[in-house]
Structure 1
């Protein structure tokens, strides 16, 4: 009978990194190192040191919190618009059921005016967003 042994564990790397070096920093150098590491946005310290040692470009990624907050608030509008649309449909159904045609039409007229105001505000938001992207987007 032909028995085959089954290997367990991870597959070995083709070119494993087996050589290790130690670097020691004093307190001031350590603070400078951590500041550079944070600016670079590297995933690990060893990767950052390798990039610096072998002359790979030092990249600084800047995250603008105001831009992030703006897009978060902008995306929250989507759910709010869906809620407004849902409420709009419910109001129209209730007006048709509970009011006379004349009274329902008067109330729908007021609702239409509010909807036009919402559309105007939405158009302003779109214009402001396009202007914001044109000025601050890093493309």
Structure 2
């Protein structure tokens, strides 16, 4: 089924106050319409218009996840440096020290993973309400 190209030859002019124009353009900017004329035409003909919506709880969640991701990346980098150091160790005392340091890094990592799980559970509870 092919769509015929519609030739729109009728022109409609409307005078608006600056506030009215601003209000219409503001609503247009939140729609998924690519052209202002498409938006106005749909509005005038009572056709459905898809609107972008923001979910503040999701935005907050994503901001917290970004911070946690950056912290996890830093922990991962530290861990990689520690493992490289381990491969260069030759004495038992150095290896014991590495094991103690590795244990503290592991605890930090587990704590961050628990924070991520907690945040995911919080957002899950909010969405399920």
TM-score (norm 2): 0.67
- Cα deviation for residue 131 of structure 1 reads 1.8
Instruction: Report the count of equivalent residues.
Output: 125
Cα-Cα RMSD: 3.3
SS in 2 for 1:40: coil
- Cα deviation for residue 97 of structure 1 reads 2.5
5+ residue gaps, structure 2, are none
TM-score (norm 1): 0.63
Mapped to 2, the partners of 1:18 and 1:53 lie a distance apart of 15
- Cα deviation for residue 48 of structure 1 reads 0.9
| Corresponding residue for residue 21 of structure 2 | 30
**In terms of Rg, which structure is larger?**
1
| Corresponding residue for residue 3 of structure 1 | none
Match of 1:117 among 99, 108, 117: 108
Match of 2:85 among 61, 84, 94: 94
Match of 1:62 among 48, 53, 65: 53
Which residues in structure 2 correspond to 1:3-22 (within 5 Å)? 14-19=4-9, 20-22=11-13
In structure 2, relative to structure 1, the CA distance for the partners of 1:73 and 1:99 (3 Å cut) is: farther
In structure 2, relative to structure 1, the CA distance for the partners of 1:27 and 1:40 (3 Å cut) is: same
Mapped to 1, the partners of 2:54 and 2:40 lie a distance apart of 22
Q: Which structure ranks higher in relative contact order (CA pairs < 8 Å, sequence separation ≥ 6)? A: 2
